[in-house]
Amino acid sequence: MTHDIQIIGGGLAGSEAAWQLARRGFKVRLSEMRGSGDMTAAHQTDGLAELVCSNSFRSDDSDKNAVGLLHDEMRRLDSIIMRAGEVARVPAGSAMAVDRDVFSAEVQRTLDEHPNVTVVRERVDALPASGPTIVATGPLTAQSLAESIVGATGQDRLAFFDAIAPIVHRDSIDMSKCWIQSRWNKRTEASNEDGDYINCPMTKEQYLAFHQGLMDGEKTEFREWEADTPYFDGCMPIEVMAARGVETLRYGPMKGVGLDNPYDTTEEHPQGRWPYAVVQLRQDNKLGTLWNMVGFQTKLKYGAQIKLFRTIPGLENAEFARLGGLHRNTFINSPLVLDRQLRLRGAEHIRFAGQITGCEGYVESSAVGLMAGMMAAAELNGAQWTAPPRTTAFGALLSHITGDAEADTFQPMNVNFGLFPPLHDVKKKQRKEAYTSRAKAEMGEWIASLDAVPA
């Protein structure tokens, strides 16, 4: 099949861009390196849209949360990622989490079955000299293509480290020491009977010993060229957080507030007292056989991980389906090298999408891929692209990465209300709802203004 456009990279952004173009009638060549004999340091399969870090798309609350609002906007634009996410959804409280394998398989099936999409397993080593192209190779872009990008942009690559959380087999968890509960008892309709998280409580003594173990554990060594690479706060390794202070984890991923330990009851707290600290595990697949350790991204070496994590109450005999890991992420200085339509300055036939643009997170990456697909479709139709309002999650994210951020200090960013035009005449407690209400109204108007309203 001859193609109208080539997309390089079959991750979330590339898959989303391919879907948006294909459903508008354009023929897409989707080039994916995995499956051609090459593999990245973090991926384990050759499936499209494989999730390599967490299995969570974070909050699904579109009324009070910026990423939940982004979910809503993507659904309104017929996102393949949100479609597949619903098929693969697993309990996660007010968050949206998915079974990784089901999710990837659903994206793969949908694109394979579309007559306008051809998935080609091939490694692309250089930016095409001509022809409409979307580069969505993500934070693990192959070295040869990355060097081609550096040559085209004239700018050095920017990079940060991203750490992966371990996954535990459910039947190896000692539930006589743990319990299932969502914080503050908040649950979704798909929740387990008592909640969405397995909670492993720690006393003060256990927590302090665990903290010391994190500090002392053998860790992955940096290469010389990696030594000054910063971490992104959203995927901060737990031992890096621990190094910031002995109490840091208790106010982060190991906080015990809102969790009633049924093994520690008193007359005053008949439902159970809050633990001094807690390790939470979240369901990772639909069968409920795999659970990931929430917030436990780590660069500890494998032996150190097993030894330390088995000191956690309830995990003494834990069997790990996957241990934590560390990989280097690459992204471009988008405010400097891309225009407002994600096109490479000086080579406008090339667009960038996804995490390589400096957005951070599965949903944000997918949203930028969605917009890149819509932009390319408009251009192929000879139409003028009109960006979504900056008051929407789409518009705020796009504006940030294509010019509103400071190029000199540009770092990966999740969508958040700090990227939205401020509301000064609304009380602080009501601002989140006001941001989302305004965004939903203006997103609706923008969608209605499009030449082709999504089905």
| 10 labeled part of a ligand binding site | yes
- Please give the Cα distance from 438 to 421 (Å, whole number): 11
Q: Is the pLDDT of residue 255 over 90?
A: yes
13 labeled part of a ligand binding site = yes
Q: Please check the confidence at residue 436 and state whether its pLDDT lies above 50.
A: yes
Per-residue pLDDT tens digits for 211-240 = 999 999 998 876 665 666 777 777 788 999
Report d(CA 389, CA 440) in Å as an integer: 11
**Residue 452's closest CA among 21, 17, 15?**
21
CA distance 127 to 148: 6
Higher-pLDDT residue of 350 and 329 is 350
Q: What stretch of H or E contains 110?
A: helix 100-113
Q: For residue 128, is pLDDT > 60?
A: yes
pLDDT of residue 455: 40
How large is the average pLDDT for residues 105-113?
Answer: 98
Q: Is 347 annotated as ligand-binding?
A: no
* Interior angle at CA 386, CA 383 and CA 391, nearest 5: 165
pTM recorded for the entire structure: 0.83
Q: Does the pLDDT at position 453 exceed 50? A: no
> CA separation (Å) from 434 to 113, 422, 423, 445?
41, 10, 8, 17
- pLDDT single digits (tens) 20-40: 999 999 999 999 999 887 877
Distance (Å, whole) CA 17 – CA 377:
10
- What burial letters (b/e) apply to 203-229, b meaning 16+ CB within 10 Å? eeebbeebbebbeebebbeeeeeeeee
Average the pLDDT over 174-195 and give the result: 82
Confidence at residue 190, expressed as pLDDT on a 0 to 100 scale: 57
Determine the average pLDDT of the residues in 152-180: 87
Q: Name which residue leads in pLDDT, 140 or 15.
A: 15
Q: Is the pLDDT of residue 359 over 90?
A: yes
pLDDT tens sequence across 258-286: 999 999 998 888 889 999 999 999 998 88
Give start and end residues of each alpha helix (H) in 135-233: 143-153, 204-216
Amino acid 432 reads K
Query: What local confidence, expressed as pLDDT, does residue 429 receive?
Result: 87
CB within 8 Å of 115: residues ≥ 6 apart: none
Q: Which amino acid is at 74?
A: M
Q: Which domains does the chain have, with CATH numbers?
A: 5-157+332-449 (3.50.50.60), 164-327 (2.40.30.260)
Q: For 306-331, what is each residue's pLDDT tens digit?
A: 999 999 999 999 999 889 887 777 89
Q: List residues bridging with 179 in a β-sheet.
A: 199
With helix as H, strand as E and coil as C, how does 112-142 read?
HHCCCEEEEECCCCCCCCCCCEEECCHHHCC
Share of the chain above pLDDT 90, in %: 72
3-state class (DSSP) for residue 359: strand
Q: Is 12 annotated as a binding residue?
A: yes
Question: From the CB of residue 14, how many other CB atoms can be counted at a distance below 10 Å?
Answer: 31
**What is the tens place of the pLDDT at every residue in 43-96?**
778 899 999 888 999 999 999 999 999 999 999 999 999 999 999 999 998 999
Mean pLDDT taken over the chain: 91
For the stretch 84-95, pLDDT in tens is 999 999 999 899
Specify whether the CB–CB gap between 273 and 265 falls below 8 A.
yes
pLDDT digits (tens, 9 = 90+) for 284-295: 888 889 899 999
Instruction: Answer yes or no: is pLDDT of 454 > 60.
Output: no
pLDDT tens per residue, range 366-422: 999 999 999 999 999 999 999 999 999 999 999 999 999 888 888 888 999 989 998
Q: Evaluate whether 236 touches 53 at the Cβ level (below 8 Å).
A: no
